[in-house]
């Protein structure tokens, strides 16, 4: 099947494939939409089972970045990249530099930053081959460093707004939250929640992360396949996409779904299913926009020759709560799911007719 015929193609402007036999790089860069500005989005390194899975992931992630930038009010387009490989085993400085050359080949249409399986050190290697890279160390004044803690703060802010809206609670002490995935964002979210007295149930495919959460945060751990059955108030998907699907929706007991993962809904219709079940879903690209906001400020600081303003970043990220509430209000006014409401707001901003919405 042609890439153009894939369900998730969704009018992408450009999809590029890169192969570097010398370093082993196999990468895909997807540029979804540049109506508002250059496409900015992280690079994910993952051991995909096959190339079709990688293509689907990069297309869905890229589209999500367009919507994320638009609903957050940033002058950016949407793009994403994936490297096929095990980040713990296959990553080398040479491979990262090859990725930098791939990014550079797009001549600024796509700007790369960190995502799952990538780090600030990786961005440094990529920066040796291209200037179209963000998430760099902060030592020189213009770099924002790892955006993961900022993303986590945005999710934390959005989660509290969702809890306020659905459960009418300002104080979240004693709230029960299940966190699926303890990567850089998920673990930082857990730290913020634990500091507020939240009761954590956690899981991850990497047991070292789980042990750390138990020791440092007093979390209770469950096997990955059991996280959906946890008796909690909030379910926070912070791993890969597709966690909300026909099988899991029937098992989730939470009143609120609010997490950091991209593309949490396996299919657009699952937003409607959640609405019918009276489960409040905080759309993923709305509440996980903190990292994008951070790298946008880094991009702006570098372009103007200014110092990265972390205080301004955090103030901007704190406003995610207002955006989340506006999505909830629009969903109620128009009698649609929160996923559809968020898409409609974003589409109005980047210039697509609402009828073309394919929420994911």
- Rounded to whole angstroms, the Cα distance separating 70 from 68 reads 5
**Residues 310, 316: contact at Cβ < 8 Å?**
no
DSSP code, position 265: B
Sign of CA dihedral 183, 231, 317, 170: negative
- Rounded to whole angstroms, the Cα distance separating 71 from 209 reads 32
Does 80 participate in catalysis according to the annotation?
Answer: yes
Specify the residue for token string 């299940």.
Answer: 178
- 321 Cβ neighbours under 8 A, 6+ residues apart: 157, 158, 160, 161
Residue 272 C-alpha from the chain's centroid: 21
Selecting among 68, 80, 91, 160, the annotated active-site residue is 80
Question: Measured at the alpha carbon of residue 56, what is the angle toward residues 260 and 70, in degrees to the nearest 5?
Answer: 50
Beta bridge partners, 14, equal: 31
Q: Where are the beta strands (DSSP E) in the chain?
A: 14-20, 25-33, 39-46, 77-84, 110-114, 176-180, 199-203, 220-221, 234-237, 256-257, 280-281
Sign of CA dihedral 27, 31, 42, 103: positive
**Residues 100, 110: contact at Cβ < 8 Å?**
no
- Rounded to whole angstroms, the Cα distance separating 11 from 345 reads 19
Number of CB atoms found within 10 A of residue 224's CB: 13
* Residues with a known catalytic role: 80
């Amino acid at each position: 099947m042609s890439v153009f015929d894939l369900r998730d193609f969704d009018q992408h402007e450009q999809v590029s494939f890169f192969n570097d036999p010398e370093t082993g790089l196999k990468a895909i860069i997807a540029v979804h939409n540049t109506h508002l500005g250059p496409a900015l989005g992280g690079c994910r390194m993952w051991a995909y089972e096959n190339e079709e899975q990688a293509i689907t992931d990069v297309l869905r992630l890229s589209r999500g970045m367009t919507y994320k930038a638009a609903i957050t009010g940033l002058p950016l387009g949407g793009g994403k990249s994936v490297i096929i490989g095990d980040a713990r085993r296959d990553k080398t400085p040479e491979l990262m530099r090859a990725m930098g050359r791939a990014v550079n080949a797009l001549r600024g249409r796509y700007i790369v930053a960190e995502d799952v399986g990538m780090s600030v050190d990786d961005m440094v290697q990529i920066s040796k081959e291209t200037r179209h890279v963000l998430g760099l160390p902060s030592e020189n004044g213009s770099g924002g460093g790892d955006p993961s803690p900022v993303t986590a703060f945005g999710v934390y802010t959005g989660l509290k707004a969702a809890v306020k809206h659905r459960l009418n609670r300002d104080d979240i002490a004693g709230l029960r939250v299940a966190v699926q995935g303890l990567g850089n964002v998920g673990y930082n979210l857990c730290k913020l929640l634990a500091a507020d007295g939240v009761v954590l149930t956690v899981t991850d495919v990497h047991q070292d992360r789980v042990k750390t959460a138990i020791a440092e945060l007093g979390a209770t751990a469950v096997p990955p396949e059991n996280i959906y059955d946890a008796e909690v108030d909030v379910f926070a998907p912070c791993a890969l996409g597709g966690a909300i699907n026909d099988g899991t929706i029937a098992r989730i007991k939470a009143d609120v779904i609010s997490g950091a993962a991209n593309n949490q809904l396996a299919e657009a219709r699952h937003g409607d299913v959640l609405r019918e079940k009276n489960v409040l879903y905080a759309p993923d690209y709305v509440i996980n926009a903190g990292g994008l906001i951070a790298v946008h400020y880094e991009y702006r600081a570098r372009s103007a020759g200014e110092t990265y303003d972390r205080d301004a970043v955090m103030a901007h990220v704190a406003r995610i709560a207002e955006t989340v509430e506006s999505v909830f209000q629009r969903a109620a006014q128009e009698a649609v799911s929160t996923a559809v409401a968020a898409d409609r707001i974003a589409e109005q901003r980047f210039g697509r007719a609402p009828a073309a919405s394919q929420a994911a």
